[in-house]
């Protein structure tokens, strides 16, 4: 199979922004334990503080801003947004689950916040009665960038949201989109980020997986997701490839750790290699290559390694070559990749560009 050959370019090797003092101060002022359950454990929907801390600086919230949050969850991130927007700012937070909104409203009241409005509803449609906003942040993944969000944020404002970046499972990137004067998506920068898919009553959710079935009860789901399998519409072939992935017997170590392996995954998605496949085998998530008669993957999580149907599998060779290619280009991180959007019927789809940002 032909490999992608790219020009060598210089890359910035980090996607972790330094935390500005305003964010550090907000993190210090909000008591995260206040937003936990009565047993003092985090509620199921809570985003880990370390993840919020990594993403908040990208929003660049200033005093007095109007902020829309999609996905209230525990309410912890809402409190941080209210701290950043200050007493002259406002935060509108929407969650599809009414009991979470009731809970968060009570907790914000106890903590003395007066600038937060918590609403039950489908965040896919934003909060039109409270628009316009300077900033919109989503902690849940929509099927695409909704038109409503781009319309409700003022030109020059910023949307930070996890967006699906390929018609394949587990392919989300955190996109920071500046809204253009004509209320279309303007410049985009990317970072790594994975949030739960939105429950969108407004839409039928897009299907990711060609074959998706539970093999070992609810705790151990497995699937395979590959555009080439979707295109064949051959269920017997899909089943055969799926079974080959499940039974892959060969494993070998790979010298890429976490979170670097996430960058390799997104770089691979951007290059759209023939046979690109995303898979889950029990607790293991994988990116790799499948063909009609062989399969090779990088196991991304929880333990990075190569997995293949046999030690001599051509697909394994291909995956090894992709890794080599990625290393030769300086192990590029997601923030160095370019991105653009294409219109869909109710919004925009994010596409990753194989060429690095600003060097196209």
Ligand X SMILES: C[S@@+](CC[C@H](N)C(=O)[O-])C[C@H]1O[C@@H](n2cnc3c(N)ncnc32)[C@H](O)[C@@H]1O
**Which residues make up the interface to ligand X (CB under 6 A)?**
45-47, 70-74, 76-77, 94-97, 100, 122-124, 139-140, 195-196, 198-200
The span from the CA of 181 to the CA of 156, in Å, is 7
Q: How far is CA 131 from CA 128, 135, 238, 304, 322, in A?
A: 5, 10, 46, 44, 45
For 258, the token pair is 């976490």
User: Phi/psi of residue 150, each to 5°?
Assistant: -70, -30
Give Cα 234 distance to the centre of its chain.
Answer: 29
* 176 or 271: CB nearest ligand X: 176
| Closest to 93 measured CA to CA, from 106, 77, 107 | 77
The span from the CA of 360 to the CA of 20, in Å, is 30
Q: How far is the CB of 309 from ligand X (least distance, A)?
A: 36
Q: How far is the CB of 217 from ligand X (least distance, A)?
A: 24
Taking the chain, what is the end-to-end CA distance rounded to the nearest angstrom? 25
| Closest to 164 measured CA to CA, from 218, 216, 203, 211 | 203
* 49 or 240: CB nearest ligand X: 49
Q: How far is the CB of 281 from ligand X (least distance, A)?
A: 25
* 121 or 167: CB nearest ligand X: 121
* 267 or 348: CB nearest ligand X: 348
DSSP codes, 271-339: H--TTEEEEEETTEEEEEEE-SS-EEEEEEESS-EEEESSTT-HHHHHHHHHHHHHHHTT---GGGEEE
Q: How far is the CB of 114 from ligand X (least distance, A)?
A: 20
Sign, CA dihedral 59-65-66-71, equals positive
* 34 or 154: CB nearest ligand X: 34
* 92 or 279: CB nearest ligand X: 92
* 122 or 309: CB nearest ligand X: 122
User: Phi/psi of residue 270, each to 5°?
Assistant: -60, -30
């Amino acid at each position: 199979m032909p490999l992608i050959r790219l020009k060598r370019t210089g890359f910035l090797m980090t996607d972790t922004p330094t935390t500005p003092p305003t964010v550090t101060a907000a993190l210090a002022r909000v008591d995260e334990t206040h937003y936990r359950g009565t047993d003092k454990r985090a509620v199921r929907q809570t985003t880990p503080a370390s993840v919020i801390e990594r993403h908040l600086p990208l929003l660049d919230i200033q005093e007095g801003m109007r902020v829309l949050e999609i996905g209230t969850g525990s309410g912890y991130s809402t409190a941080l947004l209210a701290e950043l927007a200050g007493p002259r700012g406002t935060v509108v937070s929407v969650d599809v689950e009414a009991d979470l909104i009731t809970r968060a409203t009570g907790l914000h009241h106890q903590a003395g916040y007066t600038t937060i409005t918590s609403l039950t509803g489908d965040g896919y449609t934003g909060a039109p009665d409270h628009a316009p906003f300077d900033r919109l942040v989503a902690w849940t993944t929509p099927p695409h960038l909704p038109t409503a969000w781009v319309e409700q944020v003022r030109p020059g404002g910023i949307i930070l949201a996890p967006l699906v970046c390929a018609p394949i499972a587990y392919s989300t990137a955190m996109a920071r989109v500046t809204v253009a004067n004509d209320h279309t998506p303007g410049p985009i920068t990317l970072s790594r980020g994975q949030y739960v898919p939105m429950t969108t009553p407004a839409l039928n959710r897009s299907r990711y997986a060609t074959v998706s079935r539970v093999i070992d009860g609810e705790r151990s789901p497995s699937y395979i997701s590959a555009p080439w399998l979707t295109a064949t519409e051959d269920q017997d072939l899909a089943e055969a490839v799926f079974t080959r992935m499940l039974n892959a017997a060969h494993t070998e170590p790979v010298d890429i750790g976490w979170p670097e392996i996430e960058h390799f995954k997104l770089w691979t998605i951007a290059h759209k290699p023939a046979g690109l496949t995303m898979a889950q085998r029990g607790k293991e998530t994988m990116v790799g290559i499948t063909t009609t008669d062989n399969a090779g993957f990088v196991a991304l999580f929880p333990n990075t390694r190569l997995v293949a149907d046999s030690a001599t599998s051509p697909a394994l060779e291909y995956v090894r070559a992709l890794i080599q290619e990625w290393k030769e280009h300086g192990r590029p991180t997601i923030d160095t990749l370019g991105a653009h959007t294409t219109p869909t019927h109710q919004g925009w789809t994010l596409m990753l560009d194989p060429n690095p940002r600003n060097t196209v």
